[in-house]
Amino acid sequence: MSSRRDLTDSPFDTLEKTFDLLVTGPRPLALDGTTVSGLPDRAIPLGELQAMLLHPSMSFAVRDRVVDALVARAKAEGGAWSVGLAGVLLPGLRRAAWPLVQSCPDKADDIEAETLAAFLAAVARCQPGRARLAARLCWLARIGATRLLRTELAEVGRPAGDPVSAAPPRPWSHPDFVLDHAVRAEIIKAAEAELIGATRIGDVPIEDAANALGLEYWACVKRRYRAEQKLAAWLTSDEYSSIEIVQKRAKTPCSSSGSRPRPDRKVDRRPGKRRSSPPPRR
């Protein structure tokens, strides 16, 4: 059996360490199983409960009732129960944020922090009793993190006093940011981009997305299909370009290096002046 990886001080790992402290020891944070139909009639530590929820033998109906109970405790008592709820759903939160972290690794901590903040805000607003509540909470948490990156990249993409035509920084090659480009170009709506991103780029099943949006399965499929048709038509048209006008700067939120002249070479920027060949090495 392989040992668990070393945890860092990242927001998700900090949550995991705090959750571990809450669910171990002589008095672990536990849910009374007698209050939830389908659970054993005993106090169940939340660490054990998390493993039960992840096991394929647990039905969706029982999972929904468990998450309902945890959300109700978190809304009523906050504190340890809010941490406990987030800890139980941490695997889903990690999956939801993973595509964004991969597209912008230098912003991983900010993405995780915003995911957790959006998750807690969603818990505060939600009403227990909704089907697939766990999927909806993770969905809303991902949307919050996506908005953070859109704000960061909109700031980078704003032309400065001397804008230049340049290849886009690394994040724009990721499908999530192609979707953001389409939203800004008013090709598709933000909600449509989030649906495509979560179900095509992320690993949210279309059934869970439909439940999260309060739609019937085929209505959700048709909504995504119509949005994808508009997106495909735009991407293959002359209106779309993967090159954008960006500010010339050494760093972007998602890359730590950029093209810059070498300190030992002078650059002649006079109009019509051809770039000279590099001096021979001595």
In the structure, what pLDDT confidence band is assigned to residue 103 with cuts at 50, 70 and 90? confident
Check whether 240 has a pLDDT greater than 80.
no
pLDDT value of residue 135: 85
pLDDT value of residue 121: 93
Q: Which of 189, 168, 166, 169 is nearest to 179 (CA)?
A: 189
Stretch 166-170: mean pLDDT, rounded? 47
Average pLDDT, the chain: 78
pLDDT tens by residue, 195-209:
887 788 766 778 877
Provide DSSP, 109-163: HHHHHHHHHHHHHHHHH--TT-TTHHHHHHHHHHHHHHHHHHHHHHHHHS--SS-
Q: What pTM value is reported for the model? A: 0.64
Rounded Cα gap, residues 193 and 83, in angstroms: 30
pLDDT value of residue 34: 92
Check whether 253 has a pLDDT greater than 80.
no
Burial class (CB in 10 A: 0-12, 13-18, 19+), 281: exposed
In the structure, what pLDDT confidence band is assigned to residue 144 with cuts at 50, 70 and 90? confident
pLDDT tens by residue, 23-77:
998 899 999 999 999 999 999 999 999 999 988 888 888 999 999 999 999 999 9
pLDDT value of residue 256: 45
Check whether 20 has a pLDDT greater than 80.
yes
In the structure, what pLDDT confidence band is assigned to residue 194 with cuts at 50, 70 and 90? confident
Least confident of 49-63, 222-236, 240-254: 240-254
pLDDT value of residue 23: 93
Check whether 188 has a pLDDT greater than 80.
yes
pLDDT value of residue 172: 43
Rounded Cα gap, residues 12 and 5, in angstroms: 13
pLDDT value of residue 263: 46
